[in-house]
Amino acid sequence: MHIAFLTPEYPHQLTGSSGGLGTSIKNLASSLCEKGVEVSVILYGQESEMEFEDAGISFYFLRQKRYKIGGWFFYRKYIKKSINNLIRKKNIDVIEAPDWTGITALIDFKCSLVIRLHGTDAYFCELEGRQQKWKNRIFEKKALEAADFLISVSRFTAEKTNEIFGINREYEIIPNSIETRSFVPSDVEIVPGRILYFGTIIRKKGVLELAEIFNKVIIQRPESDLVLIGNDVIDNFDNRSTFELFKNRLSKQAEEKMNYLGKVEYDKIKAYIQESAVVVLPSFAEALPMTWIEAMALEKALVTSDIGWAEEVMVDGETGFTVDPKNYDAYADRIIKLLDDGELRRKMGSSARKRVIENFAAEKVVEKNIEFYKLVIEKSKALDLSKT
């Protein structure tokens, strides 16, 4: 079995920046490789073309080409030709691509195409209340309609995607996974009153609401502090730094107790998670958030949002609390409850890790993916025989 992932991002020293999409693909690719599955990763939009092998995975970089006109068309022709050559040379059985911006639209691959729903641009625009570019919507819908099979990382994402595009595709639910051996709780000393947010500093992650929430926390618990980790981005609505918008919402007292660390190396984030008393992730737009799962694996009690996908990850009152981020009082109350009760934090943290091990551990999730790929290959072979 040879599975190839087509993706715009992947966490590797030779690639650009990568987020949750790249992390989830890397986790799966590594797990498949450990199970003896042949794995290739094809990265498009790269600065140069390159081929190499690392940790048993074959990498193929497709350079981002520029065209005077019709770039969307001609670049897809280039991707199609490059990948179909690889399919023939390397005997690739399945190409898996993400749903984001519909990169596989108008491309006919010489093997089965699986699209995994991590959240289309249309999906996130819907959740955020933004206007989507018409071209992205057309490509995303065409890509979904033309895919041979669909996987979704959460039921909420699958159902919402069908609703948004007015389609009725069947899908398999297979969540993102995490290598729990790489996220082992430690006995590092907790910084009393430490609240941590990590992830992109962007409106859709609820950081603006977090400012209002922290204003309320600091009034009742003036000894607490808030640490923010993540890359700041320009806000889609105000065209300004999101961090500046966040800071402008803070009271003077809250601003004095806030520390923004900017972008931190992925491996170092774990240490900040470990030393925090409470992790807050009040996002409005996710498919299945890796940040939540990572913090849970480290036995941290979370206060998250309560939207859509949340119940597929968290259990309110058991692994932490899920709250509407716009309900500032209730959200602040849950944070304070955890700050004040170390035993509750430990109990919820333990339940959180147990839930990750039972539902998102790589060794379990990879088996579901392998069974699905086998089914895809069997159906593809049956279809080919019916045509002869």
How high is the pLDDT of residue 267? 78
Residue 292, phi then psi, degrees to nearest 5: -60, -50
How high is the pLDDT of residue 388? 45
Q: Tens digits of per-residue pLDDT, 51-88?
A: 999 999 999 999 998 888 888 889 999 999 999 999 99
How high is the pLDDT of residue 93? 96
Same-domain status, 173 and 217: no
How high is the pLDDT of residue 127? 92
> In CATH, what number is assigned to the domain containing residue 99?
3.40.50.2000
Same-domain status, 145 and 294: no
Q: What is the CA radius of gyration of the chain?
A: 22
The letter for the amino acid at 345 is R
Angle at the Cα of 272 from the Cα atoms of 32 and 362, rounded to 5 degrees: 15
Among residues 275, 285, 184, the alpha carbon closest in space to that of 227 is found at 275
CB atoms within 10 A of CB 334: 23
Strand-strand pairing, 50-54 and 57-63? antiparallel
Q: Using CA atoms, how far apart are residues 385 and 372, in angstroms rounded to an integer?
A: 20
Same-domain status, 249 and 164: no
Structural domain containing residue 286: 180-359
- Tokens representing 19 are 């987020």
Same-domain status, 171 and 203: no
Same-domain status, 69 and 202: no
For 91, left (φ over 0), alpha (ψ -120 to 50), or beta? left
Same-domain status, 311 and 377: no
The letter for the amino acid at 157 is T
Same-domain status, 8 and 86: yes
Q: Tally the domains of the chain.
A: 2
Same-domain status, 27 and 144: yes
Query: pTM of the predicted model, to two decimals?
Result: 0.91
Same-domain status, 112 and 155: yes
**Residue given tokens 């290739």 in the structure block:** 40
Same-domain status, 255 and 342: yes
Among residues 38, 48, 44, 39, the alpha carbon closest in space to that of 7 is found at 44
Q: Using CA atoms, how far apart are residues 198 and 206, in angstroms rounded to an integer?
A: 11
Inter-residue long-range contacts of 112-115, CB under 8 Å, 24+ positions, other chains counted: 112/148, 112/149, 112/376, 112/377, 112/379, 112/380, 113/146, 113/147, 113/148, 113/149, 114/147, 114/148, 114/149, 114/150, 114/151, 114/373, 114/376, 115/143, 115/144, 115/147, 115/149, 115/150, 115/151
Same-domain status, 379 and 280: no
Same-domain status, 287 and 317: yes
Residue numbers of the chain with a pLDDT score lower than 50: 388
3-state secondary structure of 249: helix
DSSP H or E segment with residue 146: helix 134-146
